[in-house]
Structures are given as C-alpha cells and as structure tokens.
Amino acid sequence: MDVNGKSIVITDAASDIGRTKAIAFHSAGAKSILVSDINEQGARAVSDRNQFSYRVNQLREIISNGKE
C-alpha cells in the first residue's frame, strides 16, 4: 500500500498494534498521522515520541454529527 504523501487516521493508537502502525506509516512517508485513543496519555506519548502532525483524544471531536 502506497501511503507516501497521504494523511492517515489511527484509532486505538496507544495499543501495541496501533503504535506499530503509526510508526510504520510514518516510515512509509505518510504526510500526516492523526492518532486517537480513549487512553489520552498513551495517544499523546505516541504522538510526541514520533513527532506526528496531529493528536486527538476522541475522534468524535472531529467527526461529530458528520458536520466537521
């Protein structure tokens, strides 16, 4: 899968699988990676450690009611 220059959304990013996906997409050239997890501290750690572009605790903050 070619993700070079793409924007990626990863839910459950604080889990081992989510964190591994985030790192893999970053290594593959994704333009921006938004990580989300109910574990705010874990999502923040994944984002901060890997210098990803965005961090959101609750994905529903972005897509609530399909209006945003």
Contacts with 65 (C-beta within 8 Å, 6 or more apart), sequence order: none
Task: Give me the phi and psi of 41, to 5 degrees please.
Answer: -65, -40
Please tell me the distance from the alpha carbon of residue 36 to that of residue 66, in angstroms, as a whole number.
17
pLDDT at 51: 66
* CATH pick for 7-66 out of 3.30.56.10, 3.40.50.720, 3.30.460.80, 3.30.413.10: 3.40.50.720
For residue 5, give the 3-state DSSP assignment: coil
Per-residue pLDDT of the chain (68 residues; tens, 9 = 90+): 899 999 888 888 889 998 899 889 989 998 888 888 888 788 778 777 766 644 555 555 554 444 44
Q: Could you tell me the pTM of the whole model?
A: 0.68
Q: Quick check: helix, strand or coil at residue 54?
A: strand
